[in-house]
Amino acid sequence: MEKAIVRTDFKFPGQTSVYHGKVRDVYNINNEFLAMVVTDRISAFDVVLPKGIPYKGQVLNQIASKFLDATADIVPSWKIATPDPMVTIGHLCEPFKVEMVVRGYLTGHAWREYKSGKRTICGESMPDGMKEHQKFMKPIITPTTKADEGHDEDISRDEIIAKGLVSKADYEMLEKYTLALFERGTQMAAKMGLILVDTKYEFGKKDGKIFLIDEIHTPDSSRYFYADGYEERLAKGMEQRQLSKEFVREWLMENGFQGKEGQKVPEMTPEFVNQVTERYIELYEHITGDKFVKAEGADVLKRIEKNVNDFLKK
């Protein structure tokens, strides 16, 4: 079986610190740039699962890279280069303390709130009589706070501005960028026979300028439906065919795990891990329209280190 990269511990020239997130290892270079290594770790229900998924990091990094390039005319992104299939190097920005979640359809968290009787989410109203997975008249922005620990919390535009998390002028720009990015993502998905259902964007600031940061339109940060059969399934009240990592959550729930205290992660057999790799490759090819080419390298960590060092020398 292919080896998954679940931890990195590089010492790059000019490195001042490293942050190990759920999936990404982020290296600070001279307090000016970031080298982000997208590992093969996989998380669900805010828990990092015990085994990595070979090629998952490459899939996510290459999807994000493609979409950052495809939206650069809308908003500048933090990306400078992708010197390795699993690495993006970009500008170090001061992140805004909110995530911009945008929803085109009544699905997931929004549907759970709706089903419980709520008709507003993050200050956005939702009309009566809607069905699960139904399209909103127009996309709604439902921001969340970026929690250092624990879960992100829903928050409204007015609360964000009142609490001084983001200035009014900046927030208006974030809204404008969010809707334009979602529109572009929707158009690109439609060409691939997909519906971009909802996604999240993160933004930061450097030298007074707003940048799009982190990943964009990947199956870890976005939900996609297959367009074919969408209307029929909606009419019959059936589940939609999804293209996201939802299948991993479903497998965990079927095996009695939802990240709650005392619950044990089910055994990830080599067959299951291999299946997840294949699903991620399928996701890549469906979303981008490109054939996935597995990056070569008997020693992936050595390859990453060499590629990043070579780039930093320039």
Q: Residue 310 carries which side chain, given as an amino acid letter?
A: D
The confidence score (pLDDT) of residue 188 equals: 97
**CB of 100 within 8 A of CB of 180?**
no
Q: Which residues pair with 44 in a beta bridge?
A: 47
Residue 30 CB contacts under 8 Å (≥ 6 apart), including other chains: 14, 16
For 132-157, letters b (16+ CB in 10 Å) and e give bbeeeeebbbbbbbeeeeeeeebbbb
Q: What's the CATH code, domain 96-203+223-243?
A: 3.30.470.20
pLDDT band at 94 (very low <50, low <70, confident <90, very high): very high
Both tokens assigned to 222: 């976005």
The pLDDT mean for the chain works out to 95
Of 130-139, 213-222, 250-259, highest mean pLDDT: 130-139
Spans of all domains in the chain:
96-203+223-243
**Residue 163 Cα to chain centre, angstroms:** 26
> Quick one: which of 70, 312, 30 has its CA closest to 183?
70
pLDDT band at 272 (very low <50, low <70, confident <90, very high): very high
Rounded to whole angstroms, the Cα distance separating 40 from 1 reads 14
Residue 106 CB contacts under 8 Å (≥ 6 apart), including other chains: 114, 126, 130, 131, 132, 133, 134, 135, 136
The confidence score (pLDDT) of residue 159 equals: 97
pLDDT tens track for 139-195: 999 999 986 666 679 999 999 999 999 999 999 999 999 999 999 999 999 999 999
Secondary structure letter of residue 256 according to DSSP: T
pLDDT tens track for 205-238: 999 999 999 999 998 899 999 999 999 999 999 9
What DSSP assignment string belongs to 139-161? EEE--EE--SSS---B--HHHHH
**Torsion angles phi and psi, residue 303, rounded to 5:** -60, -45
pTM (two decimals): 0.92
**CB of 54 within 8 A of CB of 64?**
no
pLDDT tens track for 22-73: 999 999 999 999 999 999 999 988 899 999 999 999 999 999 999 999 999 9
**Torsion angles phi and psi, residue 32, rounded to 5:** -130, -35
User: Helices (DSSP H) in the chain: which residue ranges?
Assistant: 56-70, 108-115, 157-162, 168-191, 230-236, 246-254, 270-288, 300-313
Both tokens assigned to 262: 């005392």
pLDDT above 90 (res 284): yes
